[in-house]
Structure 1
Amino acid sequence: MSYLSREEMLAVIGKPDDSWLSQRDHTLFLLMYNTGARVSEIIGVKVGDVVLDEGSACVHLRGKGRKQRSVPLWRSTAKTIRAWLKVNPEFQPTSPLFPNRNGHAMTRANVALRLTLATGNAAGTCPSLAKRHVSPHTVRHATAMHLLQAGVDISVIALWLGHESPITTHHYVEADLNMKERALARLHEPQTGIQRYRAPDSLINFLKAL
């Protein structure tokens, strides 16, 4: 299972410049990481699906079978989305939150391409990304793994990702255990043999004198 470390993920999200594309992509990748959304869910988000109220910011996602779930937003994500909406005052509640240059919702291929370009740019400051193929699903995996490693209950992660069954989410547990086993294998196993205890002469003489 391919996923990014937190450092790699933050490098891909990056810091936007003043261009429209850069700000859109930054907001897009941040929301993808925050929510762990499928690419089909993220490109389907409308402006009206985002709630930016202080203390209860969230986004409504439509998953498989048109099932809807709500995912809370970090303060940084909500702040970034507010800034993005200010750049685009013409957006209506029914407008796609992440349009292409023609105003239509981005396609899966478009998101994948922008993510590949962002990964290539991020490799300059994060060399471990140089040979990585990062897809939208890689970001979804990263969200799940980071939640798991932070101690979030697997049933909560299943709800977060929109899994129909927690059994699907168990793949992340198995991947996490495999990763830890590989790390453990790199360590030198300590000697497990129990050495025979030999009492010092002072203790033996004391016991003889009893």
Structure 2
Amino acid sequence: MTEATAPHPVTFSALVQQFFTEYLVNQRAMSPRTIASYRDAMLLFLNFAQHRLGKMPTALNLADITPDLILAFLDYLEQQRHNAVRSRNLRLTALRAFLKYAARRDVSSFFVIEQALGIPMKRFERPMLGFLSREEMLAILGQPGETWTSQRDHLLLTLLYNTGARVSEIIGVKVGDVVMSVKRL
């Protein structure tokens, strides 16, 4: 290709738009909530970059998204906005998804993007999940009321407790799956 016929690199704003409209919606078929989360992360990042770099988001380019800028943004989320580590990591996930998409569209910025993608997720302490004692669970279950919905809810909660099944597994149970008698060996 000659210089006259070489394709022009995609602008940063066009990349952002394509990321949301083409990639997340059409190619990946992400849920509306995921897309909204990614949108919020991108808006926060673009506002932060505008204040930090003194550039309007429309004037940004991929070379501006350095590891230092991303790390400063992540610190801002934790220190100024008081985001938990999980929220910080979710914002980083959204930025990473965009950068991976952008790397495939603008190969000339691959080195800068590769550096930015090297930022690790922050580790955090997962809380120990508690559980209810048998007596506490029986107190919650109690006795079913007289109404059909009360009896239905009691049956579902008892089934969940006694089987240890997940809600998604209980939802999938069909009438034919229920065995009313117990065979003894």
Structure with greater strand share of residues: 1
Structure with greater helix share of residues: 2
Ranked by relative contact order (alpha carbons within 8 Å, sequence separation 6 or more), the top structure is 1
TM-score by length of 2: 0.30
